[in-house]
Structure 1
Amino acid sequence: MKRLNWLVAIVLLWGCASVLKVHDVPEVRLDQAAFFPTIEAHTDAPILAGNHIDVLLNGDETFPVMLREIKHARSTITMAQYLYEDGGVAHEFAEAFADRCRAGVSVNILLDHQGSQKVPSEIISSMKDAGCHVEYFRRVKVEGIIFPWRLLRYNYRSHRRILVIDGRVGFTGGYGISDAWTGNGRTPKHWRDT
C-alpha cells in the first residue's frame, strides 16, 4: 500500500512539474492592422461593418426596447435566460412571445432550470400553447437522485442572458426577466444593470 501511495505522489508531482508555460501574448491595439484579423481568428467569426450599439441602463430603458423589438419580429426570436420570475415583466414577455408565435414567428426559449424555477406553469403553458418552443437547461432528473454524484453536474448552470430578434438585433447584459429589474436602479428594490 505504501508503494502505491508513493507512486501516486510521484505521478502527481511529476504532473505538476510538467505544466506548460504560459507565454506572453503580444498586445494588439485597435489602431493596428492586425487587430480585426486577430479578433476574427479567436472568435471564428467575421467582423461585419455597419453595426451599432445602444447602451441601455436598467429595466426602465431595457425592457421597453426589448418588447418593442419582439413585437416587430418577422421570422425568429431566440432567448437564453437564466432568471425568469413571476410578475408583470414575465407576463408581458410571455404575451409578446405568444403573440409573435401566433403570427408565425419561430420563438425558441431556453431557460435555466435553477434560475427560472419560480416561473409559474401558466406562463410556460401560455407560450407553449401559442407555439413557442420552451426548454429548460439542466433539469434535475430521477437518475441524479438515484446516482447522487450526478447531482454535481446540476450546479453547472447557464447564466446566459441573450435575446436575438430576426438575427439582426441582439440584447445581452446581466438582466433577468423579473420585476426586480424594473425601475432606474436607484432604490434597494430595483437592480442596477447595463
Structure 2
Amino acid sequence: MLAFLTDNWWTIAIVINYILALLAVVTILFKSINPTKTLTYIIVLLVFPFFGLIVYYLFGQEYRKNKIFNRKDVLNNNLIKSINSKVEIKPEFLSKYEANAEEEQVRLVQLLQKNDKSPLTQNNEVEIILNGENKFEKLFQDIKQAKKHVHLEYYILKDDKIGTRLLDLLLSKAKEGVVIRLSYDDVGSKISSKMKKLLNQSTIQHHAFMPVLFPKFTGKMNYRNHRKIVIIDGEIGYVGGVNVSDTYVNYPENKNYWRDTHLRIEGEAVFSLQTQFLTNWNFVAETEVKLDRSFFPSKPIDKIIPIQIAASGPDTDWANIMEAIFFSIVTAEKYVYITTPYFIPNDQIITAMQVAAKSGVDVRLLIPDISDSWTAQNATNSYLEQLFEANIKIYRYTKGFIHAKTMVVDDIFTTIGTSNMDYRSFNINFEINALIYNEEKAKEAKQIFLDDLKDAKNITFEQWTNRPKIERLKEAYCRLWAPLL
C-alpha cells in the first residue's frame, strides 16, 4: 500500500484536488452569485490545480462574513436607534425638501434610508479638502482642540513621517485625558514594534481589524476595512480617500504627485460617522463600548446642507454605495463626472453609464494615466472600449496618481468617500461615502473635476483601437481576475 501511494502520489493528489474542486464548484453554483464571478472561480478551480483551491479558500469562502454578521450588532443598540431617530430630517423640512428638490434626489434619499437605515441629516457644514497635506494640517488642528475623545479608523496607517506626527499627537492628547480609540486594517497598515510599544504603554485603545498571519502576502484578502474616518468629540468628522502615509502627502522630496480628495464635516452627519465607527469598534475590540450622549453632542449648525452617510460591507444587507451610484447615473439629466483610481466595474455600473451617455447625458470618467497596480490598470483598460462605444469621454490624469473617489451629477448631487469603482469596493470591503445634496457643493466638486482635466489627456476611440495586440492580450488576461482584484 505504501509503495502504491509513493509511486502514484501525484495522481492521487490530482484526483483529491479535483474532487475538492468539484465540491467547491457545486457550492459556488448554489450561492447564486454574479455569473462573471461564478465563472471566474470555476475556471480558476478547474484550470489551475491546487492554486485554484488556495484562491477559493482565500477569496471565495464566506465563513468570515458570517462571523461578522453574528458579532457586528451595535446598530441593534436602542440608544443608537434613538439617536438616529433624533438626527433624522424633520418631517416639515422633508416636505419642503421634497417640494423643491429634484425627483431623483428624493428617491435616492428614500433608497438609502430603506437600505441602510441611514438618516438624511440637514444641519451640516462641509469643506472639500484637496490632497493629504491640506487634510492633515486641518486634522491636526482639530485633534489639538479635542476635549473628550478622538476616534480613528484607517485602511492604511504607517508610522512614517506623517504617521509618526499623528501618533505622537494622539499620545500627547491621551496624556491630557482625551479618550483615543484607533482601528487600523491589519493588511493595509504597518506600524513598527517601537511605536506599538509606545501605544501599549499609553491609554490609547488600539486594535487591528481582522488580523492575518502574513499581511505582505494577503493584500487582497477578503473583507478588509477600506474606510478612512476620524470623529473628534462627536462634533467634527473626516471621511475620504486620504490614508495615513507619506505617500498621500506631497512633500517636496516626493517623486510622485498624489492627487486626492477628502471631506471635513461639522453637524448632524457626524453622528452617522460616529455610529459607523462604533459598529466596527465593538467588532475589533471584542467588547461593547458603554454608549452615552457625549458621543453625540448637540452643537447647533445653522447652515443647511443635506447629507447621508452611506456605508457598505459584509455586514450590510444591500450594496448601498453601489446602488446609490447606479441610481444617480441612470437618473442623471445633464452630466455625470466620475473620478476613480480603480475602474473595474460590475455590469450594472457599465450599463448605467452606457444608458446615460446614449440618452444624451455628458458622462466623463477620469482615471490615472499610470496606475500603482499593473493588474488593475490592465483590467481597467479592458472596460474602456465599452465606454467609447457609448460616446463616454475618458481622461487619464498625467500630473501624478489620482486617488480621489468622487462623483458629481447635474449640479445637485455629490458623493465623496472611500469607495472605488470596482468589485472589491462594491461587494467585499468595508467602505463609507458621504452623499451631499447641495447645489453649492456640487458646483464646487464639478469645478474641481474640470480643473483636474487640465492635468489630464483625453483618450479618443481611434487612439484606443490602434493600441498593440499585446496590450489587448494583457487586458483580457487581467479581466479574468477582475472579480477578485
TM-score (norm 2): 0.30
Tell me by how many angstroms 1:188 deviates.
4.5
Shift in CA distance, 37/140, structure 1 to aligned 2, threshold 3 Å? closer
Letter in 2 for 1:140: V
Of the three residues 143, 160, 178, the one matched with 1:70 is 143
Tell me by how many angstroms 1:34 deviates.
4.3
Contact preservation (8 Å) 2:179, 2:204: yes
Tell me by how many angstroms 1:46 deviates.
2.8
Q: Which residue of 2 aligns with 1:138?
A: 210
Shift in CA distance, 44/89, structure 1 to aligned 2, threshold 3 Å? same
Q: Which residue of 2 aligns with 1:193?
A: 260
1:1-194 equivalence runs, <5 A: 30-32=101-103, 34-35=106-107, 36=109, 38-117=111-190, 119-140=191-212, 154-183=221-250, 188-194=255-261
Shift in CA distance, 44/124, structure 1 to aligned 2, threshold 3 Å? same
Letter in 1 for 2:235: R
Letter in 1 for 2:102: D
Contact preservation (8 Å) 1:95, 1:127: no
Query: Matches of 1:87 and 1:160 in 2, distance apart?
Result: 20
Query: Matches of 2:245 and 2:213 in 1, distance apart?
Result: 26
- Superposed CA deviations along residues 18-58 of structure 1, whole A, max 9, x for unmatched, are xxxxxxxxxx9943494555543443133332201101111
Contact preservation (8 Å) 2:229, 2:238: yes
Letter in 2 for 1:76: H
Contact preservation (8 Å) 1:58, 1:184: no
Percent identical among aligned pairs is 24
Which of structures 1 and 2 has the larger relative contact order (alpha carbons within 8 angstroms, sep 6+)? 1
Query: Matches of 1:89 and 1:103 in 2, distance apart?
Result: 22
Query: Matches of 1:51 and 1:40 in 2, distance apart?
Result: 18
- Superposed CA deviations along residues 92-136 of structure 1, whole A, max 9, x for unmatched, are 10011111111111111111111113x212222223322111100
Letter in 2 for 1:132: I
Contact preservation (8 Å) 1:59, 1:184: no
SS of 1:127 mapped into structure 2: helix
Letter in 1 for 2:186: H
- Say which is worse superposed, 167-176 or 32-41, in terms of deviation: 32-41
* Larger fraction in helix: 2
Contact preservation (8 Å) 1:124, 1:134: no
Query: Matches of 1:128 and 1:190 in 2, distance apart?
Result: 35
Contact preservation (8 Å) 2:159, 2:167: no
SS of 2:122 mapped into structure 1: coil
Contact preservation (8 Å) 2:187, 2:212: no
Contact preservation (8 Å) 2:151, 2:232: yes
Shift in CA distance, 122/38, structure 1 to aligned 2, threshold 3 Å? same
Query: Matches of 2:173 and 2:208 in 1, distance apart?
Result: 21
SS of 2:183 mapped into structure 1: strand
* Larger fraction in strand: 2
Query: Matches of 2:121 and 2:196 in 1, distance apart?
Result: 36
Contact preservation (8 Å) 1:77, 1:165: yes
Letter in 2 for 1:134: H
Letter in 2 for 1:167: G
Tell me by how many angstroms 1:137 deviates.
1.1
Tell me by how many angstroms 1:65 deviates.
0.6
SS of 1:183 mapped into structure 2: coil
Tell me by how many angstroms 1:86 deviates.
3.0
Query: Matches of 1:42 and 1:55 in 2, distance apart?
Result: 26
Tell me by how many angstroms 1:76 deviates.
1.5
Contact preservation (8 Å) 1:138, 1:154: no
Tell me by how many angstroms 1:83 deviates.
0.8
Query: Matches of 1:141 and 1:93 in 2, distance apart?
Result: 26
Letter in 2 for 1:157: R
SS of 1:155 mapped into structure 2: coil
Shift in CA distance, 30/42, structure 1 to aligned 2, threshold 3 Å? farther
Contact preservation (8 Å) 2:132, 2:249: yes
TM-score (norm 1): 0.70
Aligned residues: 164
